[in-house]
Amino acid sequence: MSILQMLFILLLVLSSLIERNYGLTSVEKAVVNSSDYRLPGDLMPFAYNLTIVPNFENFTFSGHVDILFTVKKSTSDIMLNQQNLSIRLSDVSLKLLYHDPPLKILNISLDENLQRLHILSDPSLRANLDYSIGISFNGYLQDNMLGFYKTSYEENNIQKWIAVTQFESTYARQAFPCFDEPAYRAVFNLNIGRDADQISLANMRIINTTLPMPEWGNKVIDIYEPSPTMPTYLVAFSVNQFSNLTSNNDTFRIFMRPEVKSQGAYLQSIGRTVLDTIGNFLNISYALPKMDVLSVPDLDFGAMENWGLATFRERFVLYDSNINSESDKQILMALMAHEFGHQWF
């Protein structure tokens, strides 16, 4: 058994002993009633068509999402998650999938306490039929490393901004209206807006880029391949001006500040090997067409296992043999193996 395989098994054991704690004690956890905040389960999404465009001039973002869903139980109250988004009645449309005209929407209401969007339809949605709901929205890029947030770095004494996501566990709702619980899994078709001198990244590969779009502030839109079925907390995207280190077949890339690009060479040299070793050990090939690592100056965790686009706090990507020790190298490998293990489970 190789060293990487032994390390992988050890990491699995260690990870089973770790619980991320978000501030609730065991007593507090016991008295929380899940019906107070869980979605009712009347609707089941199966696809999201999401366009989202950050604006670094005023640190806002705008977007539109079409959610395709199946009705499990007849209801007139369409309930989604949202938090800190601006949504008006005129921003919402509803129709029976592949049918016109749109259905009537009587009212919408935002419940910031329970982080919900209620949409009241007329008539009620019928069980076992598929519908599409379209929602345009606006929001602010956060500065708390959660949801869709901004962070910065200096390059040649100029402040550069990046926008990046951190959706685990329930922060996708801060970026777009959605069914933001792990049980609700769907295909995501992402379209990310950016300026011509920027790049965008997401879970999947870019298949096309539009010309500047006047309706999106003359940004170009990168159109991504459809994702596999997945929960909202694993969705990830970023807009930045980073450089990348790329493997020969372009299936493993590291994106980082240009100034420290050379210090990503170690992880770039082992990344594809780590990914392949895990797949060979499990006898299950990696499911996505590429694996990217995004080195983020400010990240709430050491790293986050977004499917196809893992985000790492910058210090866990950099290695310089003139500065760092062999134990530092082992820490970087261990963290990468841990996050890459989550690409399977």
Is 64 annotated to bind a ligand? Reply is no
What does the alpha-carbon distance between residue 105 and residue 90 come to, in Å, rounded to a whole number?
A: 9
- Strands 252-256 and 291-296 come out as parallel
Q: Report whether the peptide linkage leading into residue 101 is cis, meaning its omega lies within 30 degrees of zero.
A: yes
Please indicate whether residue 339 is annotated as part of the active site.
Answer: yes
CB count, 10 Å around CB of 238? 25
Catalytic residue among 168, 225, 314, 339: 339
Per the listing, tokens 């686009």 go with 309
Mind giving me the DSSP string for 84-112? S-B--GGGEEEEETT--SPPEEEEEEEET
Is 99 annotated to bind a ligand? Reply is no
Q: In what order do the strands lie in the sheet with 75-81?
A: 75-81, 116-125, 104-111
CB count, 10 Å around CB of 2? 11
Measured CA angle at 334 (ends 249, 304), to 5 deg: 75
| 3-state SS assignment for residue 12 | helix
Structure tokens at 37: 């905040």
What does the alpha-carbon distance between residue 339 and residue 309 come to, in Å, rounded to a whole number?
A: 10
Q: With beta carbons less than 8 A apart as the criterion, state whether 204 and 224 touch.
A: yes
Give residues with Cβ within 8 angstroms of 153, minimum separation 6: 159, 160, 162, 257, 297
What does the alpha-carbon distance between residue 286 and residue 308 come to, in Å, rounded to a whole number?
A: 10
Residues making up the binding site for Zn(2+): 338, 342
Residues making up the binding site: 338, 342
User: Which residues are annotated as catalytic?
Assistant: 339
